[in-house]
Structure 1
Amino acid sequence: MYAFSGPEAFLLCCQTPEVSDTIRNKTKMFRFPSRNNNIWTAILVVYCFLAVYYIGLITPNNRTVSSPATNEDLNYEVKAEIPRKEIVKSKDETIVQNVKHYTEQRSEIQTYEHPLQPNFALSGGLRTPRPGYKLGNIKKGSKVVIGIPTVKREGKNYLPGTVHSLLLSLIPRRADVRIVVFIGEIDPSFIREQANIIAEKFPEQIEDGTLEVISPPTEYYPDWSKVLPLTFGDSFERVKWRSKQNLDQIFLMMYIYNLAPEFYLMMEDDVIASEGYMEKIMKYVEEMSNDDWFYISFCNLGAIGKLFQHNALPPYSTFLHMFWNRKPLDWLQIDFVRAKVCSFDENEQQCQIRTRQQTPMYSPSLFQHIGKVSSLKGKLQLLKDHSFKE
């Protein structure tokens, strides 16, 4: 029987049973000569560490770095890709389903607050809104992102024609321009119907990241019966219509803000564009580079063709959210500018001059309103921009 003392005894006692047996079998053939004790101690230390590491790797209960992560390990959104270009043929139509369809599984539900009297603007998830539905995937950092909110209309759908015109008139083709369509509804069947129409007509643009379709989460809109003051003699339905338009625009602007484009181009879903519109816009922006402006208007009507700089979106969205249920969107645009530049000790004419300086207008208009059936039930919208030229 061999007795070990000093470093040898310590090393053997510290090993697991498997390692200890291995070392004992290897060392029964000899004793450590006292003069070479330090050399053999060093060799044993290295051998023991290697043996322990090897046992750790092959033990089934230990998970290695290469083990696949589960959904529980990922504390951020998971995007599941559904196979692209799955064709479903019916009797009268062909629908391209899910050209590249990402469904976001949110780890926690965001809360959105739109009270009668907002205490904190952009509360809950509005600073970094996440869609309830998403088709396509736009990368961050584009030059311009065009935002198109759309909702249900009675018997009419102008959206495909609007997207077609914006893409067709984008001459020459620009790789730094993107389009986000915001479906301002929470009805799943309507959302998927609209998304399938876009996927069928523009599969290439969905695939290459030029076009994206989103909708708000189901919890986004408030209980309308509790949050709408009936202002300016308008009916409940009209106040709801214009207030919802504000909420849709706030969500869309803040979503696009987080995509980090240099500019945001506000659009409606029933317009056509003049040929080469983006080249004209960028040339005019270059001419205005030394001026201070809030937005540049490329159409005389409402919320069509308004170009905003990226850093203007959070303060403007905040202002809109403070008065979202009080005034229409186009009125609040002017109110925001007047609050910024007008003084109480000057007359109205001076205020209007300052306001026009902050909202320069390009002529001729680059976009024309074509929709006659309004998104407000029973309303006809016959406005035209007479300075528009194709």
Structure 2
Amino acid sequence: MAKARKASVTQSKLGMILYGEQFTGKSTMAMQLAYFKRPDGKPFRVLYLDPETGSIDDYLGELEANGVDLENIYIVYTQSLGEVREYIAKVKNNEDLYVLDEETGDETDEVLLDADGEPFRADAIVVDGTSILNLTTKQGLIEFSKKRNKVKADKDGLVGDARLVKIEGAGMELKDYQTINFKGQDLILDLMASGVHYIVTARETDEKETIKQADGSTMSVTTGRKIPDGFKGMTYNVKTEVRMFRNEDGVVCAHVKKDRTHTHEDNIIIEDPTLVDWQAVIDKTADKKAFVVKNDLTKAVDVEQNIYSKEILGKVGEPANEESEEDHNSGVDIEAMKKEIIAKKNALSPVDKKEMGDKLKAAGLPTAFKNVTDVTVLQKVLDMFQ
């Protein structure tokens, strides 16, 4: 559904993209969010989603030496766009984050706490490496295309080299590129809808455009401009677009291509830039009411489909006849079952706890229970403890 409000000044949020070649200070700049203060004067808590795997690890010592409490920084290493969006959704929905098991990567039942000992609630999100997310998304679609071509090869009865070429020669189709562009736009809208400040980073590439030649053929040529290497159109919805580079003296510079916060003029170049300049954006609207436009392209598509069904087809989706999980679990206190399991688990010695975890895994049962909603599964876990 649409959302509306009367015009009024609201709290300002940072929404920034930093891009450039390697070693131009993108991660360093983004991580300066850790120096920021909330309207109540307390330090920012930063959720750092790291597809680059270790992009800021070497800078944590410097942050700590400068007074940053590292308990207010939570780093998640993942190259999956889906997992990145899951964490953004947790922030948007004000959910608890749970400590991950170091060996399996699965969530435990231990709630992540901030430096004050309170459940961690991110004030800012960094997605450091959207170029990697773009790459893995493309590769995922290529693998899907191989499966698509396998179905076609089976249908056509292909064998031998013809079958091999059909499957292994699969590439992305036009609709796949449209899917990728959609995902990139939706990522930025996800971040905008999270209600917190955000920064995304990307490597850079040459901008290209297609020109038509006299003989009617087309060719791709570079324009001489640099653009983010990742999802197309990411710069459209961000408030601030900054290209990082080093000048001839090796000094890190920032070309502020646009800045809707008006912290810096558009198209200005700053030597040795600092993100802390943008703290003023937060301070000047600290006493205003927070307002978040929770845009969601996926939901918008669902709305359009529903409207189309009503107006054109004259119907909406048929309700499912199958018994829902909610009906199946009706009358059962699921949370009480979870608490009982966790209490039994915490009563075990470390050795017994490890042994029980191995037994649960061997039985195909979960070892963490906060997201389990199936009564049957919870009962099986209880049976194992008893």
TM-score (norm 2): 0.21
Structure whose residues are more often strand by fraction: 2
Decide which structure has the larger Cα Rg and report it.
Answer: 1
TM-score (norm 1): 0.21
Which structure is richer in relative contact order (CA contacts within 8 A, separation 6 or more)? 2
